[in-house]
Amino acid sequence: MSLQDHKNLNIVPFVSVDHMMKIVLEIGVEEALVGITEYLEEDFRRWKLFDKTPRVASHSHEGVIELMPTSDGDIYGFKYVNGHPKNTKDGLQTVTAFGVLSDVHTGYPVLLSEMTILTAFRTAATSALAAKYLAPKNSECMAIIGNGAQSEFQALAFKAILGIKKLRLYDIDPVATKKFVFNLESKGFEITVCDSAEQAVQGAQIVTTVTADKQCATILTDNMVGAGIHINAIGGDCPGKTELAAGILERSDVFVEFPAQTRIEGEIQQLDADHPITELWQVITGQAKGRTDPRQITLFDSVGFAVEDFSALRYIRDQLEATGQYQDLDMLADPDEPRDLFGMIMRAAPVH
């Protein structure tokens, strides 16, 4: 479905949580991850076209609420997203989100979608895309430290894109790991549950850290990380929230999405502002090198960027015609005379 397909411009397609679940189940979870990864790679290759700005964040003691906007000149997109680690204790999601695509030429929105589920898909797909260019060749085993809501998506994306079949798991909460094993034990993985983060990284070519606590934590200490691995650092995604010891960063080749945002929110907030980094789009387009040596430590310092949400929303919109999983919302005023908004209201009054 293209941006111009809707005949009534005041009617906006809406993808609810129920629709999103049905879309990804109809397509297949791994197939959807592959599809979103392809859209991401396409947009990273045209990175220079996009308006880019760090997300607008409103921080509180409990968490953060953010807006993430971008545009390629034809389509504008944004995501509303929160991050509240304490929510889990109250039976609530740590992250919730929704997103919008609009036609730049009219300003009219053309898609409204849930993005709590979709963000999990796009985050995992972005991780796998980066690892496609940065991880050791023929990697078989990944450690996942932090087995919360994002973890299964990470595992399935790495399986679908890189062929990862062996998983080593650790979480400070054994219930989270038990949940992970229950969800994915029939999905073709060889799963090892570990007693510590240090045990989890042993023998892994890829290490994914995806914890939620809003603090400067040390999930990986310097002595845990040997030569030749790829680190997929996801959890450090706001000021004052990190997962890795600074010594690891100093020994690694660091790759980021958008430096102006990552230096504020990512693992590299621990380092000097002039510490060398490489943007992922440069590697994907061949303008910079990714992994160049078997003993190299590569680190994808991922904080999430608006272009990734844009790609995921584009992917979902292109699935609507085939799946039919959406509903039309009468969302925009459409007076017969564009200047007569008041008259439209008056004509809606009941006749006595």
Residue 266: both structure tokens together: 């990512």
pLDDT at 17 over 90: yes
The DSSP letter of residue 140 is -
Cα gap 116→318, rounded to integer Å = 19
At residue 304 the predicted structure's pLDDT band, cuts being 50, 70 and 90, is very high
User: Which residues belong to CATH 3.30.1780.10 in the chain?
Assistant: 11-117+307-332
At residue 218 the predicted structure's pLDDT band, cuts being 50, 70 and 90, is confident
User: Do residues 296 and 29 make contact, with C-beta atoms less than 8 angstroms apart?
Assistant: no
When the candidates are 3.40.50.720, 3.10.520.10, 3.50.50.60, 2.40.30.10, the CATH number that belongs to 123-304 is: 3.40.50.720
Report angle CA 113, 115, 119 to the nearest 5 degrees.
145
Whether 171 is catalytic is no
At residue 111 the predicted structure's pLDDT band, cuts being 50, 70 and 90, is very high
Pairing of strands 56-59, 327-330: unpaired
Q: What are the pLDDT digits (tens) for 188-208?
A: 999 999 999 999 999 999 999
pTM score, whole prediction: 0.93
Given this structure, which CATH class describes domain 11-117+307-332? alpha beta
Q: What are the pLDDT digits (tens) for 63-110?
A: 899 999 999 999 999 999 998 988 988 999 888 999 999 999 999 999
Question: What is the pLDDT at residue 249?
Answer: 94
Residues 6+ apart with CB under 8 A from 81: 65, 66, 68, 95, 96, 97, 115, 119
Strand blocks (E) in 197-291: 206-209, 216-220, 230-233, 242-244, 253-256, 278-279
User: Do residues 158 and 128 make contact, with C-beta atoms less than 8 angstroms apart?
Assistant: yes
Q: What are the pLDDT digits (tens) for 173-192?
A: 999 999 999 999 999 999 99
Check 237, 318, 336, 340 and give the catalytic one.
237
Q: What are the pLDDT digits (tens) for 220-244?
A: 999 999 999 999 999 866 677 788 9
User: Which residues belong to CATH 3.40.50.720 in the chain?
Assistant: 123-304
Residues 6+ apart with CB under 8 A from 68: 55, 56, 78, 79, 81, 304, 305, 306, 309
